[in-house]
Amino acid sequence: MAHSKQNQNWISLAFVWAGALVSIPSLLLGGTLAAGMSLTKTLVTGLVGYSLVVFIMILQGIQSTDLGQPTVKVAEQVFGAKGAQRVISILIAIGCLGWFGIQANVCGAAFVGFLKTFGLTMPVPMASLLWGLIMVITAIYGIRLIRLLTYVAVPYLIIICLYGLYQALTSSHVGLLSTYQPAIAMPISTGLSITLGSFAIGAVIAGDYSQYSPKRSDVVKAAVFGVIPAGVLMIGVGAVLSIVYRSADINSVFLQIGLPAISSFALVLGTWKVNVINAFSGGIAVNNALGISKKRQKITVFVVGVAGTILAIIGIMNYFTPVMNILGAMIPPVAGVMSAAYWITHKGDRTQWHSTPGFKWSGIVAWLVGGLVASVPVVMGLIPHIAHPQINPLTGIILAFIAYLILQRIEQRQNSKSELVNKENIN
């Protein structure tokens, strides 16, 4: 069942994944980790966290390479054809919505900083609203503009980051890096969860990009050499900048790099580029999740963008860590279920793959068990003065993995029993 166009080499796939990590969220992640860890601990957490991401990407990506199919199609075996579409689409929609809000928030604050350099003022919620709407309109009508934005925004952001890094490392504050200790310590388990949450959707839907790769080894090489260096480098840049400029707030850091107007504009461009894709992907995911026809795609893109903009106005950026933790809890268990089926039940043999019609409840329930149990510490952590267990990012994946194998065994026994009963009735 291999794809006819499996001609993508591993280097081009590695570039796609690396490009996704050269972004504002990666810098935010570095600043967030450094706010609770020393620089060394931040880099080690980034390395371990992205290694975990890569492990999931390899397990997921190889399935699509073997079958020449995107993630939603491959997932039809464990969730059912309708179930796969609903589960994965809902997760993508929620992820895109959360990210849209965070990025529109960053963009609004960056635009306020940009205006300040010209002596103008604007409230951040108003700027978030303005840019949220610009992003949505671009997503609906400006597909060509997206390409142009990408070509301009990525190099621009890299140049500003490198310049900021150069300034930080040659400034009188460079000594801060070796002696820096955060005011409040963050447990490594939380750091790993945030790192996993920041690229959880990318890891689970890795197959959408690896379906065109001809060999399993291509997925391994692309994930290892594309994700880990780019991810850890961007975390390192975000951490160094936030330590030297004494702020975990990406906007105030960028305002201190060189010419504030030029630096703020880099944030505006960078978030604009990514959010157009968030609105667009989120709209498609909502269509798939709710079974809305493609003709109404512009409406759903608009709805996702407006909902994300409302989150930005409310100030979702203040909840960056819990949002990442929830995504890190709910999304990876999908990979736990899919891996249990493909690698354990079917021993990695692509000829044993088959699509299940409708909904397959053993897969959906197993995913919910993993996702909901892993979310409990996150939700408890939002309630002040309540002791709560630490979040282990592997909990949900392992629970979903085991739950699927158990439910599958029960399902097989029931099927065998009903077959016996049918035979007896016929006889």
pLDDT at res. 43: 96
d(CA 8, CA 324): 31
Task: State which amino acid sits at residue 321.
Answer: T
Task: State which amino acid sits at residue 15.
Answer: F
d(CA 147, CA 278): 14
d(CA 182, CA 386): 23
Q: Is residue 426 part of a domain?
A: no
Rounded to whole angstroms, the maximal C-alpha distance in the chain is 90
Q: Is residue 232 part of a domain?
A: yes
Tens of pLDDT, residue by residue over 242-264, are 998 888 888 888 888 877 888 88
Task: Please determine, for residue 2, whether its predicted confidence score (pLDDT) is greater than 70.
Answer: no
422 pLDDT band, cuts 50/70/90, is confident
d(CA 404, CA 214): 29
Phi, psi of 167 (to 5 degrees): -60, -45
Tens of pLDDT, residue by residue over 306-350, are 999 999 999 888 888 888 888 889 999 999 999 999 999 999 999
Task: Please determine, for residue 393, whether its predicted confidence score (pLDDT) is greater than 80.
Answer: no
Task: Please determine, for residue 176, whether its predicted confidence score (pLDDT) is greater than 50.
Answer: yes
Proportion of the chain above pLDDT 70, given as a percent: 98
Domain range spanning residue 384?
10-421
Mean of the per-residue pLDDT values of the chain: 89
Task: Mark residue 384 as left, alpha or beta (left: phi above 0; alpha: psi -120 to 50; beta: remaining).
Answer: beta
Positive or negative torsion for Cα 105, 106, 107, 112: positive
For range 364-368, the mean pLDDT: 96
pTM, full prediction: 0.86
Q: Is residue 224 part of a domain?
A: yes
Q: Is residue 414 part of a domain?
A: yes
4 pLDDT band, cuts 50/70/90, is very low
pLDDT at res. 417: 82
Q: What is the domain-level CATH number for residue 132?
A: 1.10.4160.10
pLDDT at res. 158: 86
How many independent structural domains does the chain possess?
A: 1
Q: Is residue 5 part of a domain?
A: no
Task: Please determine, for residue 1, whether its predicted confidence score (pLDDT) is greater than 60.
Answer: no
Positive or negative torsion for Cα 288, 294, 295, 298: positive
pLDDT at res. 107: 94
d(CA 95, CA 163): 31
Q: Is residue 4 part of a domain?
A: no
pLDDT at res. 5: 63
Tens of pLDDT, residue by residue over 197-207, are 999 999 999 99
For range 147-151, the mean pLDDT: 79
**Got the DSSP string for 196-257?**
HHHTHHHHHTTHHHHTT-SSHHHHHHHHHHHHHHHHHHHHHHHHHHHHHTT-S-HHHHHHTS
Burial class (CB in 10 A: 0-12, 13-18, 19+), 251: buried
d(CA 266, CA 114): 10
Q: Is residue 253 part of a domain?
A: yes
